[in-house]
Chain A
Amino acid sequence: MSAPTISVTAPGATRASHGLWRDALRRLIRNKPAVLGMVCIVIFIAAAILAPVIAPYGPLAGTLADRYQPPNAAHLLGTDTQGRDELTRILYGAQVSLQVGVIAVIMALVMGGIIGAVAGGVGGRIDAVLMRIVDVLLAIPGILLAIGIIAWLDRGILQLMLAIAVTYVPIFARLLRGSLLALRESDYVTAARSIGASRMRILLRHMLPNALTPVIVSATLVLATAIIDIAGLGFLGLGPPDPRTAEWGTMLTDARKFLTIAPWLVYFPGLAIVISAIGFNLVGDGLRESLDPRLRR
């Protein structure tokens, strides 16, 4: 799904003079909350990518003698229960959140996209069956579904991604189906049929690219919730299988018992989760507003 997304953006970018995408970008940059969100995202992604370079210590390095140090010059954010540097672990934690979050959303996009495309493109009985399956998925609370999947498949990074992905499949499936259904009656789809284009071609070339805008917006918003879900599952002890892995949720659950003597161990990972989630939320909202042609100024 990521490949078609890129190829869709590409022709948009070439309509240089007064194109839809350029207008959207201009509006996005004028939108102050969205810019703040972009700053948050840049910090988050930079932390994830540059962690091995900028982190002052190794993510697992530390001695028990150094534990529970409050923030100081040597350890800017203090040290944790094992004497490991908190800042280092938060930077490395961004890696897990970014990697798991992005891959999980891509997986959800692909699965939900295929279901939605088949349902909206083919219609009829297949549509009805697929949408009932999606309804069943929606009826189960997301976090419960994720816990169930991890319980079933055992703990692991891949399982974590899959568990989070499955909970977001219904969102993308419904969204894409809805857009496609609306497009099916559009004049240019009838026009494409009138020149003898095949069904598959109409779906892939004429309908999908036009249906992707809301999907891109909601993928951004879903990424924010996915980051919170990762931390939530980590907090419940269902995060990465190696308990030493620096992961924000796991760090929170480890620090929970020492809240009275080392409160910074809760504040900083919590802050990291909030900043990254708010970043994607603000950008998602900004994208929705800037891509909506009705708001064109």
Chain B
Amino acid sequence: MALLEVRDLVVRFRTHEGTIFAVNGVSFDLEPGETLGLVGESGCGKSVTNLALMRLLPKPAGHIEGGTVSFDGLDLVSLPESDMRELRGKEIAMIFQDPMTSLNPVLTIREQMVETIQAHRKTTAKEARVRAIELLGMVGIPKPETRLDSFPHQFSGGMRQRVMIAMALALEPKLMIADEPTTALDVTIQAQVLELLRRLTTDAGTALILITHDLGVVAGMTQRINVMYAGFIVETATTADLFAAPSHPYTVGLLHSIPRLDETRPQELVPIEGTPPDQRRAPVGCPFAPRCAWRLPVCWTDNPPLVPIDVNARLVVSGPNATHQIACHNPPTTEESTAGRPLREGFVPAPPPGSVVEDLAPTEEVLA
């Protein structure tokens, strides 16, 4: 049985400027010990999805509007707040993007670690202290017993992220959510922290959801990847499948907008034109249509469901044999995805409905 089952999760924010359609029906599964990458550009709903899992959406604006989240047999959407609090930190832990601001500046490392341990376990301060030293040693902080009484500002960014990882692992959670854990760190430190995270979660058998906008980060870290766009999962596959055969125009676009060192001949970078849709509007049609080079007329009106590429394949939603699924009416062929653009003779992206046929550069105003 899956550790985590998310079905049709819908999250909206009610603000003064109207409703924000942040997450629009996301479904995925996670096995115990599995690592899953959640990839997409800023604002695509990857962080909101995970805050919703933890029920830490900013109040009062953020709401889970629909769907179910089942964790270890518990329904997280309807769980009482007190039970949810019991779960946080103990069963599901989180690591945040910016280690410079995620530790309380007025409390020592020891106070914050002991607090985490004692929040869920009845231990004496002394036992908690011993455990804290052990954890700091595990994440590679030299002489942990002398650093324990330091304040966060006496640590570097990489050290602080190590402390955050130690705190997150303190209670051996079943699931760890790491939200852009290395974005705020120096490039030289990023790899170390990722390796540490990978090793410790593997050793403890902790499932990991790694949120990132950096495909390079997930490539070496995760077994499976969900690519998100505008609050939808547009492609899901094992990491190997995704990089071998990217099949959604957005994923193709993402891969073509980063330079690769392992190509034998230099490839042209193909940027994705335009900007992500305004999420203050209810989604109509495929969210990626306005920026897509492969779009058909139907893309403007009908949002394709997430379905297996091989229609005859048996659907496996998690684990190493997960089925490669995409949400696309007109997926690029293998050659096209290698080239990064449509190669079909005479193909032009469908113009937005109601516009002149020659107008090939649709804008959001036209969409509205």
Identify the A interface with B (CB < 8 A): 8, 11-12, 15, 17-20, 124, 185-188, 190-198, 201, 205-206, 209-210
> What distance in Å separates the Cβ of B341 from its nearest Cβ neighbour in chain A?
40
Indicate which residue in B60, B90, B101, B154 contacts A196 across the interface (CB closer than 8 Å).
B90
CB distance from A226 to the nearest CB of B (A): 28
Nearest B residue to A206 by beta-carbon distance? B104
- CB-based contact B167/A187 at 8 Å: no
Chain B interface size band reads 20 to 34
Q: Report whether B104 and A194 are in contact in the complex, using a CB–CB cutoff of 8 Å.
A: no
Given contacts A196-B88, A196-B120, contact A191 B151 (CB under 8 A): no
- Produce 1/0 per residue, B75-115, CB < 8 A to A: 00000000001111110011011100111111110000001
Other than A187-B102, A195-B93, give 12 A-B pairs with Cβ distance below 8 A: A8-B106, A11-B107, A185-B58, A188-B101, A188-B102, A191-B94, A192-B115, A193-B56, A194-B54, A195-B88, A196-B89, A205-B115
Which secondary structure dominates where chain A touches chain B? helix
Kindly list chain B residues whose C-beta atoms are within 8 Å of the C-beta of A188. Answer: 101-105
Answer yes or no: B339 CB below 8 A from chain A CBs.
no
**What is the CA–CA distance of A210 and B88 in the complex, to the nearest angstrom?**
24
Q: Report B-chain residues with C-beta under 8 Å of the C-beta of A190.
A: 56, 96, 102
Complex Cα–Cα for A65 and B241 (A): 108
- Are B87 and A196 closer than 8 Å at their CB atoms? yes
Within 8 Å of chain A (Cβ to Cβ): is B119?
yes
Chain A residues with Cβ below 8 Å from B87 are 196
- Sort A-B residue pairs by CB-CB distance and give the 5 closest, nearest first: A195-B89, A196-B88, A196-B89, A187-B101, A194-B94
Contact B119 A196 (CB under 8 A): yes
CA distance A196 to B120 in the complex (A): 8
Interface string of B150-186 (1 = CB under 8 A from A): 0101100000000010010000000000000000000
Given contacts A185-B58, A196-B87, A196-B88, contact A191 B120 (CB under 8 A): no
CB pair B102–A11 under 8 Å, yes or no, is no
When C-beta atoms are compared, the residue in chain B nearest to A188 turns out to be: B104
A197 touching B115 by the CB < 8 A rule? yes
Bound-state Cα–Cα, A198 to B83, Å: 11
Using a CB–CB cutoff of 8 Å, the interface residues on chain B facing chain A are 54, 56, 58, 60, 85-90, 93-94, 96-98, 101-108, 115-116, 119-120, 151, 153-154, 164, 167
Q: Which of A8, A20, A191, A201 touches B103 (beta carbons < 8 Å)?
A: A191
Q: How far is the CB of B162 from chain A (nearest CB, A)?
A: 15
Interchain CA distance A16-B124 in the complex, whole Å: 27
A192 and B107 CA atoms in complex are apart in Å by 12
Interchain CB contact (< 8 A) of A191 among B90, B96, B154: B96
Chain B residue nearest to A11 (CB atoms) is B106
**Contacting pair A124 B56 (CB below 8 A):** no
Are A191 and B93 in contact, with the CB atoms below 8 A?
Answer: no
A209 to B104, CA, bound (A): 10
Residues of B within 8 A of A193 (CB): 56, 88
The answer to whether B101 touches A186, judged by C-beta atoms less than 8 angstroms apart, is yes
Number of residue pairs across A and B with beta carbons under 8 Å? 75
- A191 to chain B: which residues have CB within 8 Å? 94, 96, 102-103, 164
What is the minimal beta-carbon distance from B106 to any residue of chain A, in angstroms?
5
Scoring A20, A188, A206 by chain B CB atoms within 10 A of each residue's CB, the highest score goes to A188
Q: What are the residues of chain B within 8 A of A187 when measuring CB–CB?
A: 96-98, 101-102
Which chain B residues lie closer than 8 Å to A124 at the CB level? 60
Residues of A within 8 A of B104 (CB): 188, 192, 206, 210
Given contacts A186-B101, A195-B116, A196-B88, contact A205 B107 (CB under 8 A): yes
- Provide the bound-state CA to CA distance between A191 and B165, in Å: 12
Query: Are B167 and A195 closer than 8 Å at their CB atoms?
Result: yes
Residue in contact with A210 in the complex, picked from B106, B108, B116, CB distance below 8 Å: B106
Shortest A118–chain B CB gap in Å is: 17
**What is the CB-to-nearest-CB distance from B210 to chain A, in angstroms, rounded to a whole number?**
16
Q: Give 27 A-B contacts (CB < 8 Å), ordered by A residue.
A: A15-B151, A15-B153, A186-B101, A187-B102, A190-B56, A191-B94, A192-B104, A193-B56, A193-B88, A194-B54, A194-B56, A194-B93, A194-B96, A196-B85, A196-B86, A196-B87, A196-B89, A196-B119, A197-B85, A197-B89, A198-B85, A201-B115, A205-B115, A206-B107, A209-B107, A210-B105, A210-B106
CA distance A206 to B85 in the complex (A): 17
Tell me, rounded to whole Å, the shortest Cβ–Cβ distance linking B4 to chain A: 16
CB distance from B114 to the nearest CB of A (A): 12
CB-CB under 8 A from B105, the residues of chain A are 20, 188, 210
Give the residues in chain A near B58, CB-CB below 8 Å: 185
A201 to B87, CA, bound (A): 17
Q: Which residues of the other chain, B, contact A19 by a CB distance below 8 angstroms?
A: 151
Give Cα A19–Cα B116 distance, bound, in whole angstroms: 24
User: In the complex, what distance in Å separates the CA atom of A20 from the CA atom of B86?
Assistant: 34
Specify which chain B residues have a CB less than 8 angstroms from the CB of A209 in the assembled complex: 106-107
Q: Is the CB of A197 within 8 A of B119?
A: yes
- Residues in A with CB closer than 8 Å to B116 are 195
Complexed CA–CA distance, A201 and B97 (Å): 23
A11 lies within 8 A of B108 (CB):
yes
* Interchain CA distance A194-B164 in the complex, whole Å: 12
Which among A11, A194, A210 has the highest number of chain B CB atoms within 10 Å?
A194
CB distance from B168 to the nearest CB of A (A): 8
Q: How far is the CB of B56 from chain A (nearest CB, A)?
A: 6
Q: Give the residues in chain A near B97, CB-CB below 8 Å.
A: 187
